[in-house]
């Protein structure tokens, strides 16, 4: 059996190092490689303990998290980093800077920089560490013990081995009609999404003729700064969606944390709508909520895109777009950090075509222009 995924825990608080280490050691498939009280000590320990993934605090003496990430980039260290960040606006800005410097993902501390409530996000932290640690080991050609990512209640059970054979795709249902001119693009994405969206939107066609609505699973307090960080690198306008925002070409709207995003067609155009209805698939915002709204409003004049993420959110209602005759794209397994959401949609027969992350922007842009109104 392969060795467990090794985790380097970096935090200036001895309490936090101990609490995070306990979460790691309690998770089947994970093990603590070492602990460090700041970025400088972490850099010294990486060659010795050879971690598969790093948990990194931001505010630390001598070398903080941002300084560590800059030095990691300069040295060419590829070990993935999961940030532990507080929820304050300043924390959101710094977290987006960390993502821009190559951090893989982040998780919010429940209550400040030193939190005895870290156990409340233990499951989420364990999932991220397993996801990014597994992805890194696979990329390096190391053996990986696969764990179930798609059902939280079964998360810590090893996934069954099926003689090396993946589950077969069901026979695709027949759409009600042929695709029409695409008027709107909707994207659902989760784990691995922040950096995946950075890559897609940096490459998206500047003359894209359709607006884009995005559900990225992200906590409140972060989506405004996340949208602003995407806007700085994207040739199109990117902003956090507000209720009543115009849905228009040249604009990308990101669902706010803890608010569902839908679309409403009006005589003079379409507008974004936000609501606080109960979570769907454990998420608010939910990709299923967005896709269902888009299918209802646009029918076969929509494009649905489902990308890297744990679980099944978005898979069912991507089918609503597919059945109406809309175009559907799923990210392929090889380029997903977690092949959960797109896998579920693919196995249901709702993915019209697959694309790698490297090709996603070009695929969206090509189809958007091919099927423009």
* Residue in 85, 113, 134, 190 annotated catalytic: 190
Domain count, the chain: 2
In DSSP terms, which residues pair with 283 in a beta bridge?
A: 280
Same domain, 320 and 361: yes
> Residues 145, 279: one domain?
no
CATH label of the domain that carries residue 265: 3.40.50.180
69: domain CATH number is 3.40.50.2300
Residue 113 among the catalytic residues: no
Contact criterion met (CB below 8 Å) for 250 and 208: yes
Residue ranges making up the domain that contains 254: 184-370
- Taking the C-alpha atoms of 232, 252, 80 and 35 in order, what is their torsion angle to the nearest 10 degrees? 80
Instruction: Tell me if 166 is assigned to some domain.
Output: no
What pLDDT, on the 0 to 100 scale, is given for residue 114?
A: 57
Q: Compute the chain's Rg from CA coordinates.
A: 20
Q: Is cis: bond before 98, omega within 30 of 0?
A: no
- Residue 307: both structure tokens together: 């990308």
Q: In the annotation, is 111 catalytic? A: no
pLDDT confidence of residue 87: 62
Q: At what angle do helices 65-75 and 39-49 cross, to 10 degrees?
A: 40
Catalytic (active site) residue 163:
no
Which pLDDT value is given to residue 165? 32
User: Is residue 142 a part of any domain in this protein?
Assistant: yes
> Of 34, 105, 217, 245, which one is the catalytic site residue?
217
Closest alpha carbon to 121 in 223, 27, 259: 27
Low-confidence residues of the chain: pLDDT under 50 = 148-168
Nearest to 314 by CA among 328, 302, 335, 300: 328
Give the residue carrying structure tokens 């076969």. Answer: 300
Find where tokens 């602990």 sit.
35
Tell me, yes or no, whether 130 and 198 share the same domain. no
Pick the catalytic residue from 293, 313, 332, 365.
313
pLDDT of 109 reads: 80
The runs of H, that is alpha helices, within the chain are 14-25, 39-49, 65-75, 89-100, 122-139, 193-203, 223-231, 287-298, 315-324, 341-347, 357-370
Same domain, yes or no, for 147 and 203? no
**3-class SS letters over 245-291:** CEECCCEEEECCCCCEEEEEEECCEEEEEEECCCCECCECCCHHHHH
Cβ atoms of 130 and 122 closer than 8 Å: no
User: Do 188 and 139 belong to one domain?
Assistant: no
C-alpha distances (whole Å) from 223 to each of 160, 194, 236 are 36, 10, 17
Amino acid 91: pLDDT? 78
Based on the domain organization, do 133 and 189 belong to the same domain? no
On whether both 99 and 54 belong to a single domain, the answer is yes
Residues 212 and 357 in one domain: yes
In this structure, the answer to whether residues 245 and 146 fall within a common structural domain is: no
Per the domain annotation, does 70 fall within a domain? yes
- Asked if 57 and 112 sit in the same domain, the reply is yes
Residues 146 and 243 in one domain: no
* Concatenated DSSP letters of 231-246: HTT-SSEEEE--TT-E
> Which residues make beta-bridge pairs with 304?
186, 328
CA distance 293 to 245: 16
Domain match, 250 and 301 both:
yes
Please give the model's pTM, rounded to 2 decimal places. 0.88
How far is residue 353's CA from residue 15's CA, in Å, rounded to a whole number?
A: 48
């Amino acid at each position: 059996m392969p060795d467990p995924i090794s985790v380097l825990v970096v935090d200036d608080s001895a309490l936090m190092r101990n609490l995070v280490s306990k979460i790691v050691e309690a998770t089947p498939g994970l093990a603590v490689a070492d602990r460090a009280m700041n970025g400088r000590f972490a850099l010294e320990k990486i060659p010795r303990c050879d971690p598969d993934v790093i948990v990194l605090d931001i505010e630390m003496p001598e070398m903080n998290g941002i300084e560590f990430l800059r030095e990691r980039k300069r040295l060419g260290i590829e070990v993935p980093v999961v940030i532990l960040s507080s929820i304050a606006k300043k924390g959101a800005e710094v977290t987006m800077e960390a993502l821009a410097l190559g951090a893989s993902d982040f998780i919010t501390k429940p209550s400040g920089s030193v939190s005895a409530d870290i156990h409340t996000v233990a499951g989420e932290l364990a999932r991220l560490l397993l996801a990014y640690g597994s992805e890194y080991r696979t990329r390096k050609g190391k053996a990986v013990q696969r764990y179930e990512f798609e059902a939280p209640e079964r998360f810590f059970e090893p996934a069954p081995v099926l003689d090396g054979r993946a589950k077969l795709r069901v026979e695709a249902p027949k759409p009600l009609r042929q695709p029409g001119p695409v008027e709107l693009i909707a994207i659902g994405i989760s784990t691995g999404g922040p950096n995946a969206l950075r890559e897609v939107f940096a490459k998206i066609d500047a003359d894209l003729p359709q607006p884009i609505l995005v559900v990225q699973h992200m906590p409140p307090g972060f989506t405004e700064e996340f949208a602003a960080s995407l806007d700085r690198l994207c040739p199109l306008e990117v902003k956090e969606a507000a209720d009543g925002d115009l849905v228009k070409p040249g604009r990308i709207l990101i669902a706010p944390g803890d608010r569902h995003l839908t679309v409403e067609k009006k005589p003079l155009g379409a507008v974004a709508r936000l609501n606080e209805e109960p979570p769907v698939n454990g998420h608010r915002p939910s990709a299923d909520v967005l896709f269902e709204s888009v299918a209802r409003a646009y029918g076969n004049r929509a494009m649905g895109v489902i990308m890297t993420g744990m679980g099944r959110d978005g898979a069912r209602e991507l089918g609503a777009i597919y059945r109406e005759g809309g175009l559907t794209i799923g990210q392929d397994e090889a380029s997903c950090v977690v092949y959960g959401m797109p896998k579920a949609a693919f196995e249901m027969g709702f993915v019209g075509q697959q694309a790698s992350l490297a090709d996603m922007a070009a695929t969206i842009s090509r189809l958007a222009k091919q099927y423009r109104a």
